[in-house]
Amino acid sequence: MVPIRDDNPVTITPYVTYGLIALNVLVFFYEATLSAPNLQTLFETFAVVPRDLSTSFHTGFGAPHVSEWGTLLSAEFLHAGFFHVGGNMLYLWVFGNNVEDQLGHLKFLLFYLVCGVLASLCQWYVSPDSTVPSLGASGAIAGVMGAYIFRFPEVRVLTFIPIFFTAFRVPALVFLGFWFLQQAFYGITSLGVSADVGMNGGVAYWAHAGGFVFGAALGYLLGLFNDEQGYPAETVTEKALNEPPE
């Protein structure tokens, strides 16, 4: 299933969402200019290499291992191919603006980055000795989706289903719930198998599932699900129409 758009207008201009999309695309364009050996070097330097991260945790704080911890952030802006970056940015475009609308610009940025770090740590936990670079924004975006499903479960998402060659509007609860169950299932079945995203890797299912769960938890801690946090724009309109005139 591929999301096209959601029926969930925003009340702000989501500058952070737009900025994250632009930065990811610009970094990917830079990657496209590199030769294969140079691209592999870039991934090994700025993506999360689980075995190197494991070593850094054992040796403690200090150079050169601080830079290895920094890959937990830098890896969020690297992608292994056009469909990798394109798919991630589509999901961020559809779901990120509404979560930013509810959290505010700065809080959303911190939320996004922290979700990405925690998602990478989930993938590292299940494959701490892997030497395949793990990278991509999908863990952070999974966190956005985890927050979205609890904040806007009934919002309709226009979804393209390739097997039927058509699009349907389905509740976010159905779309995102199915997505999470799929990631969790593949994560369980891939235990013991290399599941990192890299030039020669696969899909980081545990980063997706972990990011989703952490996104929901962080959303709760940040008050995203409280009524005081604000209403979706459509709810505000309906509420105003239903109130009797003074």
Q: Residues 24-35: what's their mean pLDDT?
A: 95
Residue 192's pLDDT band, with cuts at 50, 70 and 90, is: low
Domain carrying residue 153: 2-242
Interacting residues of 156 by C-beta distance below 8 A, sequence separation 6+: 6, 7, 169, 170, 171, 172
Task: Tell me the CATH number at 37.
Answer: 1.20.1540.10
Whether pLDDT at 66 is above 70: no
Model confidence pLDDT, tens digit, residues 138-147: 999 999 999 9
Task: Tell me the two tokens of residue 186.
Answer: 């593949």
Q: Considering its fold, how many domains does the chain have in total?
A: 1
Strand residues in the chain grouped as ranges (E): 2-6, 156-161, 166-171
Whether pLDDT at 61 is above 60: no
Tell me what the pLDDT averaged over the chain comes to: 83
Peptide bond into 64 cis (omega under 30): yes
Whether pLDDT at 15 is above 70: yes
